[in-house]
């Protein structure tokens, strides 16, 4: 049949050769039925070159066909947006069960397939980044995991995944969450696994870039940040519940942070309260640590969405650094600062990553579990 002419059975015009070529290009020569991805220009058994393509209409070319429409069938018959590249089996399947494979479902299949091809092609010359997934049970009890596919999606389009599996570290201990033994054990596990997996990777590729995806108690994420330091090339990500993604939700500044200093009494016992995801009452801190001076860093907008962008994270870090610099210059004799955090994972990671040994006092990190208690110490 010559393109541009009507077929029998009241079918619309055939798509032009150019339209078919464009469809094959957009589909990368593969079946667009979700989960199939079959190569359509090679025989699956002999591996000989073979044209096994089927051009499927989403809205049938004939008003009487599968998903046909009295007006739109002829109008869309030649449209690239109405065509899908399919293998013979799936072309037959969607036309046999049009009530199941509706127009909306097929459009979604087509768009997802073509977007994935576009992402892969655009990422061919993108820098690679190793997906680094770090997990530890929340409160020592609630198991968590990082979805590798979501992590890969989060780094696009700026970077592409270095490997098909990434690096995964999980640490946990079978003891009381509030005991020093628990924190000593998980810290030791983290250091051991970090040396084995991350440092060994860097020994082979010293310039390797990492995209870090952590779900763990805040003190452990801070410890991970400290292990990685600011010399390794890193992007940090944090999980969003709504929408369900690891992608940063904004590209611009969406929040601001301020620092307040409160002097309770004469002395040099210093605490830092980080009230970002929630407000921390002063008495909850003074109940466990008799602070002489308390620095409070607050977010203008508190809550789980207090940091929505890398620009927000940078804003927090600079305010935190200002507080640390003032403490160092004002209380030069102190050896440690007690930190009481209510912060998202990205801020926790930066807390450890940006720590400067020999410049700042060591950081004693507290955790909240129906009251604050001491966990890990960074530095010293």
pLDDT (tens digit, 9 = 90+) per residue, 67-77?
999 999 999 99
Q: Are residues 28 and 47 in the same domain?
A: yes
Residue 23's pLDDT is what? 97
Residue 246 lies in a domain: no
> At which of 122, 145, 177 does a domain end?
122
Residue 7's pLDDT is what? 54
Q: Are residues 160 and 117 in the same domain?
A: no
Q: Are residues 337 and 295 in the same domain?
A: yes
**Cα separation of 174 and 189, whole Å?**
13
Residue 76 lies in a domain: yes
Kindly report the pTM of this predicted structure: 0.73
Q: Are residues 117 and 131 in the same domain?
A: no
Residue 43's pLDDT is what? 79
Residue 1's pLDDT is what? 37
Residue 194 lies in a domain: yes
Residue 126's pLDDT is what? 83
Cβ-in-10-Å burial (0-12, 13-18, 19+) of 44 comes to: exposed
DSSP run (H or E) holding 374: strand 372-378
Q: Are residues 86 and 131 in the same domain?
A: no
Residue 8's pLDDT is what? 58
Q: Are residues 92 and 141 in the same domain?
A: no
Residue 207 lies in a domain: yes
Residue 250 lies in a domain: no
Residue-wise pLDDT tens digits, 106-162: 999 999 999 989 877 876 778 999 999 999 999 999 999 999 999 999 998 789 899
Residue 50's pLDDT is what? 85
Residue 248 lies in a domain: no
Q: Are residues 35 and 87 in the same domain?
A: yes
Owning domain of residue 70 = 17-122
Q: Are residues 131 and 94 in the same domain?
A: no
Q: Are residues 139 and 227 in the same domain?
A: yes
Report the domain count for the chain.
3
C-alpha 349: how far from its chain's center? 14
- Given a contact cutoff of 8 angstroms between Cβ atoms, the answer to whether 132 and 167 are in contact is yes
Q: Are residues 79 and 163 in the same domain?
A: no
- Given a contact cutoff of 8 angstroms between Cβ atoms, the answer to whether 257 and 299 are in contact is yes
Residue 64 lies in a domain: yes
**Cα separation of 87 and 40, whole Å?**
7
**Cα separation of 49 and 219, whole Å?**
57
Query: What φ, ψ does residue 212 adopt, rounded to 5°?
Result: -100, 130
Q: Are residues 206 and 312 in the same domain?
A: no
Residue 244 lies in a domain: no
Q: Are residues 227 and 334 in the same domain?
A: no
> At which of 207, 236, 265 does a domain end?
236
Residues of the chain with pLDDT under 50: 1-3, 5
């Amino acid at each position: 049949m010559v393109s541009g002419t009507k077929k029998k059975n009241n079918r619309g015009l055939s798509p032009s050769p150019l339209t078919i070529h464009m469809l094959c290009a957009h589909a990368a020569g593969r079946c667009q039925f979700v989960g199939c991805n079959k190569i359509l220009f090679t025989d699956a058994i002999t591996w000989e070159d073979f044209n096994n393509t089927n051009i499927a209409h989403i809205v049938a070319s004939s008003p009487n066909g599968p998903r046909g429409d009295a007006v739109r069938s002829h109008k869309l018959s030649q449209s690239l947006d109405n065509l899908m590249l399919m293998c013979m089996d799936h072309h037959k399947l969607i036309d046999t069960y049009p009530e199941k494979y509706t127009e909306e479902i097929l459009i979604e299949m087509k768009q997802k397939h073509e977007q994935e091809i576009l992402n892969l092609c655009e990422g061919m010359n993108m820098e690679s980044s190793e997906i680094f997934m770090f997990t530890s049970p929340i409160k020592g009890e609630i198991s968590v995991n990082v979805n590798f596919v979501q992590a890969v999606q989060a780094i696009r389009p700026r970077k592409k995944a270095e490997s098909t599996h990434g690096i995964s570290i999980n640490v946990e201990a079978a003891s009381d969450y509030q005991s020093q033994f628990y924190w000593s054990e998980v810290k030791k596990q983290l250091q051991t696994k970090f040396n084995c997996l991350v440092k060994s990777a860097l020994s082979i590729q010293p310039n390797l870039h990492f995209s870090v995806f952590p779900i763990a108690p805040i003190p452990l994420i801070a410890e991970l940040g400290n292990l990685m330091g600011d010399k390794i090339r890193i992007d940090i990500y944090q999980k969003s519940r709504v929408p369900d993604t690891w992608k940063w939700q904004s590209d611009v500044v969406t929040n601001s942070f301020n620092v307040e200093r409160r002097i309770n009494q004469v002395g040099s016992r210093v605490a830092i309260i980080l009230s970002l995801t929630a407000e921390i009452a002063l008495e909850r801190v003074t109940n466990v640590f008799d602070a002489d001076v308390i620095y409070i860093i607050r977010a203008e907008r508190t809550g789980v969405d207090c940091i929505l962008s890398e620009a927000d994270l940078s804003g927090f870090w600079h305010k935190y650094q200002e507080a640390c610099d003032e403490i160092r210059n004002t209380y030069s004799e102190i050896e440690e600062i007690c930190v009481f955090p209510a912060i998202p994972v990205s801020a926790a990671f930066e807390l450890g990553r940006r720590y400067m040994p020999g410049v700042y006092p060591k950081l004693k990190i507290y955790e909240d579990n129906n009251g604050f208690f001491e966990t890990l110490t960074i530095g010293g």
